[in-house]
């Protein structure tokens, strides 16, 4: 049976795909001087791709002084959801949020992105007491100019947002950091940002204000959000089953159509969730886990990490329509951080032996009560 994509409008020709991959496997066998089959070759391709994406994620997070364990990973594109869990495990990212229509996320962004205009005024003055009026004059002049421009583009004053910041550096440096403007504690905030990014701060050095910066936005109307229906922890039935390979092992894997899922549905892992523009892989080392889309409740990455000791950590989730505060329904899945010794079909908990038939669940944002769930080794937050 061929695997169907794009809502069933496109069928993958498995025979031709295997034949093309076989050519690669043959070349790999020649170079490695041993037999490399089609499955191992395909796994090698995924490993290389994941390695490249992991390096890119490290560059914009860890190498900039940010601890990846305090962030969520938001994959997009048609295949983003296929790589998300592996990347989260490699970087110890505790949460994965997969938006609906991830393959069209860039197009959605074009439709919903605010109109933005950036300005800056060079100042080259020391950060000291008494410079507030000079900074205020610079910001007001830029805001007046931005207000006129945005009005010409159809954004009245109540549909505008202006964000002030300062480009600061230590005297003698040739680079600066952008710090959001506030009338108090600017020096302390700059020292803290410098220490986070570079590992040190020169608190006795003079701080220079290189420029005042203003980001002005014309706020566009948001796309109406659709809320999912709710069910009472119903076990959803896969629309079909396929044979998928995890770490070289063939596993009978359920395929769910995302459009048919409701809040409260339970999925059996490992499984594949398909929709028109993207595919999401939920591997076997996934626990049922729930929570709100905005992360305000007790299942935040850091608190959850302290509560669930052992080898497991964090959560992944499929988010409902929209992004940010517009997220209303989420499919959340607890992922195991340890990937080197994982076994498909079971996961080990410090509280007991390996368990099979682990589950994940679509959770509603509005529910808040923690509860114990059968077939789950961790606490569930709904």
Q: pLDDT tens, 236-279? A: 889 999 989 888 889 999 999 888 888 778 888 889 999 888 89
- Considering the domain architecture, whether residues 316 and 301 belong to the same structural domain is answered as yes
- Considering the domain architecture, whether residues 119 and 27 belong to the same structural domain is answered as no
In contact, 135 and 143? CB cutoff 8 Å: no
- Domain range for 140: 114-218
Report the candidate in 169, 198, 64, 183 with the shortest Cα–Cα distance to residue 135: 183
Q: What share of the chain is helix, strand, coil (3-state, %, to 5)?
A: 30, 30, 35
CATH number of the domain enclosing 162: 3.30.1490
- Considering the domain architecture, whether residues 262 and 362 belong to the same structural domain is answered as yes
d(CA 32, CA 189): 54
In a domain, 285, yes or no: yes
For residue 276, the model assigns a pLDDT of 87
Per-residue buried b or exposed e for 106-122, using 16+ beta carbons within 10 Å of the residue's own CB: eebeeeeeebebebbee
- Considering the domain architecture, whether residues 81 and 125 belong to the same structural domain is answered as no
Token representation of residue 217: 């936005």
d(CA 280, CA 71): 20
As for how many domains the chain has, the answer is 3
For residue 18, the model assigns a pLDDT of 87
d(CA 17, CA 211): 56
367: Cα separation from own chain's centroid: 23
In contact, 291 and 96? CB cutoff 8 Å: no
- Considering the domain architecture, whether residues 102 and 232 belong to the same structural domain is answered as yes
Among 17, 36, 57, identify where a domain stops: 57
Angle, alpha carbons 7-8-12 (nearest 5°): 120
Can you say whether the dihedral through the CA atoms of 307, 312, 314, 315 is positive or negative? negative
- Considering the domain architecture, whether residues 35 and 92 belong to the same structural domain is answered as no
In contact, 342 and 247? CB cutoff 8 Å: yes
In a domain, 158, yes or no: yes
For residue 311, the model assigns a pLDDT of 33
- Considering the domain architecture, whether residues 145 and 232 belong to the same structural domain is answered as no
- Considering the domain architecture, whether residues 232 and 353 belong to the same structural domain is answered as yes
d(CA 342, CA 218): 48
In a domain, 327, yes or no: yes
Peptide bond into 16 cis (omega under 30): no
d(CA 136, CA 165): 11
Report the candidate in 342, 370, 350, 377 with the shortest Cα–Cα distance to residue 85: 342
In a domain, 151, yes or no: yes
Instruction: Look at phi and psi of residue 154 and say left if phi exceeds 0, alpha if psi is from -120 to 50, else beta.
Output: left
- Considering the domain architecture, whether residues 214 and 303 belong to the same structural domain is answered as no
Instruction: Look at phi and psi of residue 165 and say left if phi exceeds 0, alpha if psi is from -120 to 50, else beta.
Output: beta
- Considering the domain architecture, whether residues 288 and 245 belong to the same structural domain is answered as yes
- Considering the domain architecture, whether residues 29 and 103 belong to the same structural domain is answered as no
Among 193, 218, 243, identify where a domain stops: 218
Among 218, 251, 275, identify where a domain stops: 218
* Residue 245, helix vs strand vs coil: strand
Global confidence as pTM: 0.63
Give burial (CB, 10 Å; 0-12/13-18/19+) of 209. buried
In a domain, 120, yes or no: yes
H-state helical runs in the chain? 14-32, 38-60, 80-91, 105-112, 132-152, 186-198, 301-307
Residues lower than pLDDT 50 in the chain: 1, 286-317, 319-382
Token representation of residue 164: 């002030």
For residue 232, the model assigns a pLDDT of 67
**What does the DSSP assignment read for 297-360?**
STT-HHHHHHHS-SSEEEEEEEE-SSSGGG--EEEEEEEES--TT-BTTBEEETTEEEE-S-EE
In a domain, 233, yes or no: yes
In a domain, 62, yes or no: no
- Considering the domain architecture, whether residues 101 and 184 belong to the same structural domain is answered as no
For residue 348, the model assigns a pLDDT of 30
d(CA 297, CA 78): 30
In a domain, 357, yes or no: yes
């Amino acid at each position: 049976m061929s695997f169907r994509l794009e809502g069933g409008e496109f069928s993958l020709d498995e025979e031709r795909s295997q034949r093309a991959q076989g050519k690669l496997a043959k070349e790999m066998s020649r170079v490695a001087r041993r037999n490399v089959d089609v499955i191992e070759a395909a796994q090698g391709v995924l490993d290389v791709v994941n390695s490249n994406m992991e390096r890119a994620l490290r560059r914009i997070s860890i190498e900039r002084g940010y601890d990846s364990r305090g962030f969520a990973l938001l994959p997009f594109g048609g295949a983003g959801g296929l790589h998300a869990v592996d990347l989260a495990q490699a970087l110890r990212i505790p949460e994965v949020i997969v938006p609906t229509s991830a393959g069209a996320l860039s197009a959605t962004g074009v439709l919903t992105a605010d109109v933005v205009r950036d300005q800056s005024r060079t100042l080259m003055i020391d950060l000291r007491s008494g410079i507030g009026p000079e900074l205020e004059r610079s910001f007001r002049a830029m805001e007046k100019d931005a207000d006129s421009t945005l009005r010409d583009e159809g954004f009245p004053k109540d549909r505008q947002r202006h964000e002030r910041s300062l480009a600061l550096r230590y005297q003698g440096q040739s680079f600066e950091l952008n710090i959001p403007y506030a009338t108090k504690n600017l020096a302390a905030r700059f020292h803290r940002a410098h220490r986070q990014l570079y590992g040190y701060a020169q608190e006795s050095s003079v701080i220079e204000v290189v420029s005042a910066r203003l980001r002005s936005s014309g706020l566009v109307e948001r796309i109406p959000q659709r809320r999912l229906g709710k069910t009472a922890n119903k076990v959803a039935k896969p629309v079909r089953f396929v044979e998928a390979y995890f770490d070289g092992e063939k596993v009978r894997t359920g395929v769910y159509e995302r459009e048919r899922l409701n809040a409260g549905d339970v999925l059996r892992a490992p499984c594949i969730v398909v929709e028109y523009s993207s595919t999401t892989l939920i591997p076997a080392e996934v626990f049922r886990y729930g929570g709100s889309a905005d992360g305000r409740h007790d299942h935040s990455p850091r608190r959850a990490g302290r509560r669930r000791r052992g080898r497991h950590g964090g959560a992944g989730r499929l988010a409902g329509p929209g992004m940010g505060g517009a997220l209303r329904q989420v499919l959340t899945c607890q992922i195991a951080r340890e990937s080197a010794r994982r076994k498909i079909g079971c996961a080990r908990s410090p509280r007991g032996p390996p368990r099979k038939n682990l589950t994940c669940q679509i959770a509603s944002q509005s529910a808040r009560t923690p509860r114990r769930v059968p077939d789950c080794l961790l606490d569930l937050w709904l």
